[in-house]
Structure 1
Amino acid sequence: MTYVVGYGPRNDDRSALELAFQFARSHPEPVVAVSVVPQGWGTPLAGGVDREYEEWAAGEGQRSAELAVADFAHHPRLPAEAVWVTGRSVPATLIEQATARDAALIVVGSAEEAEPGRVRLTSKTDRLVHSSPVPVAIAPRSYRTTSGITRVTIGFRDDDASWSLVDRVAGIARDSSARMRLITFLVDPARRPVTTDVSHAQAQVIDAWTTQANAAQAEAVAHLQSSGFTDDEVEHGISAAPDWSTAVSSVGWTDGDVLVVGSSSTHRLAQVFLGSSASKILRNAPVPVIVVPGAGT
């Protein structure tokens, strides 16, 4: 297996490589930096123009591969390879490369406009996470770490997709010798600050959400323990807040954490649909996020 990294020509942020090597430190597999450059028209009418374009693209690819190799120097003794390929679509080409190389993950960086330490999808990575048959890991902008993967946090919703996600992520955690944490985010924009009154009906709804979440998490923890996880290897909690930023940030994050979200179980294209809750969690995450495709229906 491999970790396939989307490494763009003239890349000015090595965050995706940093994240891929972090996975490689925890579960050793080769890192393959793949630079996708534009493909020529391939028509007789293009003639010399097409050849010049292909030569330019080849030069871009070669330079990008050389930059990736230079970045490998930050991670000595970890196996890595840099390649460049041509393609009409960057997401489709990365998926082809991941399939051909038996990738455990496709790893990409965040958009250039993202704040340092934050995850933001580009139009290309957005298409990638909605179409990839393998998990896609997204590094925050300017991400750097010397840690391995020490804890894997799941956004747990107590639905079919979340239960499937628990079993799949358990494998990732075992491979990385990482702890697991289940967090249920209860976000109610109508909630008032604690210094003001909360209606009786609203308080009942919040209490019902919390009770249901506690019961589901206890069941999930018992399931993980029955499959071999110890008490020390499983954490769980509920984060209730009036907004997603507060809910996500308040659970506490440390170096070595990654967050995992899955697809929406209510959408008929569950395998390729990133639900609204997962999207909001992703946008507010201060750590790398892994998007795991669902099984579909």
Structure 2
Amino acid sequence: MRYIVGYTDTPAGRDALALGIRIARTTGARLDIVLVLANEERPTITPADPGYERFLRETADRWLAEALDAVPADITAKTHLVYDESFAEGLLEASRILEGGLIIIGAARGGLLGRFTLGSVANTLLHSAVVPVALAPVGSRDLLDAQPTGGTVSRITCAIGTRAGAHQLLDAAIVVAKNAVIPLRLVSLVALDQPEGAEHPEATARAESHAAEVLAYATEHLPKDIDVTTEIASGTRIEDAVSHLEWKPAEIVLVGSSRLATPKHLFLGSTAAKMLRELPVPMVVVPRDSVLTLGDPT
């Protein structure tokens, strides 16, 4: 398994690297740390200054060397300098060439500690990638600093609804939990999917029934030594429901793509986008109709 870390010498870049280290240690994957510079062959009115271009290359090489030095010795990692018209396109091309199974990026500046602000790179990837994309919230590097060895992912939480594609996402979560040998929590969003004005008792009953079904399915397909639990997220808004859940600092959340996504592609749906506003832990968005996730050995 190879995971692509979109790196820059910024807090967001270091957050992405910290999350990459944690996930790689959990799954046994190798990291490909990618830094993207503007295409050398881009159109320009005035000739590029060779001295400035050399300075950019030397600076990028230094940043990548420092990033590599920050990776613990027990994790295999390699750096790559890529030229492309945009950072997002460079990461997508690197993922294709290197056969990366996951792209990891940090949140844009401006978010509260432990929260997300999506920049242009994240928005592009979350609406076009063909592999899962992991988003590291602001401050992820602080968790790495608190545990010099990097730690591991402590739990997988999977947000399961009843819409098309939910079963594939559940299968993906089972694959991750099984291969990483970590607990799985299934959060039922059925209550949040109800039409406006639906009776609360009816919505709760449906959520409880759905939670029981997914729990039975996951338990059947996971070894007995892996703990599986369910919770029902409820609230007047999705953001409220997310804020009422208890979150472990080292866990990650799996969500599926919108039904608007083309097959095997990502498209961030409205529910996931609303979850991001309150989510204090990393989110991994899985492409539609795909069970290829960070825990898949293939």
> Structures share a fold, TM > 0.5?
yes
Q: Which residue of 2 aligns with 1:248?
A: 242
Rounded Cα–Cα distance in structure 2 between residues aligned with 1:99 and 1:65: 20
Q: How does 1:223-242 map to 2 (within 5 A)?
A: 223-230=217-224, 233-242=227-236
Q: What's 1:196 paired with?
A: none
8 Å CA contact retained: 2:161, 2:193 = no
2:133 to 124, 136, 139: 136
* Partner residue, 1:197: none
Map of 1:55-94 to 2, 5 A cutoff?
55-72=54-71, 75-94=72-91
Match of 1:150 among 131, 149, 154: 154
- Which residue pairs with 2:256 in the alignment? 262
Question: Would the alpha carbon gap of residues 113 and 47 (structure 1) be closer, same or farther in structure 2, given more than 3 Å must change?
Answer: closer
- Amino acid paired to 2:242: V
CA distance in 2, matches of 1:65, 1:209: 51
1:33 aligns with 2:27: no
Distance 2:213 2:238 in 1: 25
Three-state SS of the structure 2 residue aligned to 1:160 is coil
* Alignment-mate amino acid for residue 181 of structure 2: S
Q: What is aligned with 1:285?
A: 279
Stretches (4+) displaced over 6 A: 188-191
The aligned residue for residue 110 of structure 1 is: 107
Residue 40 and residue 214 in structure 1: after superposition, are their counterparts in 2 closer, same or farther (change >3 A)?
same
> How far apart in 1 are the matches of 2:250 and 2:11?
23
1:207, CA displacement in angstroms? Answer: 1.6
164-173 or 77-86, which deviates more = 77-86
Counterpart residue type for residue 58 of structure 1: R
Q: Secondary structure at the match of 1:173?
A: helix
Distance 1:39 1:161 in 2: 37
Deviation at 1:68, TM superposition (A): 1.2
Aligned position for 1:4: 4
User: Aligned equivalents of 1:76 and 1:119: distance in 2?
Assistant: 30
Larger Rg: 1
User: How far does the alpha carbon of each residue in 1:163-208 deviate from its partner, in whole angstroms, 9 at most, with x for none?
Assistant: 11001121112221111111123349999xxxxxxxxxx5x62222
Aligned to 2:168: 164
Take 2:168 and 2:208, find their aligned partners in 1: how far apart are those partners?
18
Deviation at 1:238, TM superposition (A): 0.6
Residue 12 of structure 1: how far off its partner (Å) = 3.4
- Where structure 2 has 5 or more consecutive residues not aligned to the other structure, the ranges are 291-298
**Which residue does the alignment assign to 1:49?**
48
Q: Per the alignment, do residues 151 and 219 of structure 1 end up closer, same or farther by CA in structure 2, a change over 3 Å counting?
A: same
The residue type equivalent to 1:106 in the other structure is: I
Partner Cα separation in structure 2 for residue 28 and residue 277 of structure 1: 31
Other-structure match for 2:120 = 123
Once the 2 structures are TM-superposed, how far is the Cα of residue 36 of structure 1 from its aligned partner? Answer: 0.3
Contact 1:245-1:284 at 8 Å conserved across structures: yes
CA positional deviation for 1:253? 0.9
**Secondary structure at the residue paired with 2:165?**
helix
Q: Would you say how many aligned residue pairs link Structure 1 and Structure 2? A: 280
Q: What do you get for the CA RMSD once the two structures are aligned? A: 2.6
Q: Give the Cα separation in 1 of the matches to 2:98 and 2:230.
A: 35
Structure 1 residues 244 and 254: CA distance shift in structure 2, 3 A: same
State the partner residue of 1:194: none
Report if the CA contact (8 A) 1:27-1:175 is conserved: yes
For residue 64 of structure 1, report the CA deviation from its aligned partner: 2.3
Are 2:116 and 2:137, in contact at CA under 8 Å, matched by a contact in 1? yes
Residue identity over aligned pairs, in percent, reads 28
* Structure 1 residues 235-284: Cα deviation after superposition (integer angstroms, max 9, x where no partner): 1011211233331122211132111111122x264633211111101221
Partner of 2:182: 178
Report which stretch shifted further, 13-22 or 61-70: 61-70
Bigger CA drift: 175-184 or 46-55? 46-55
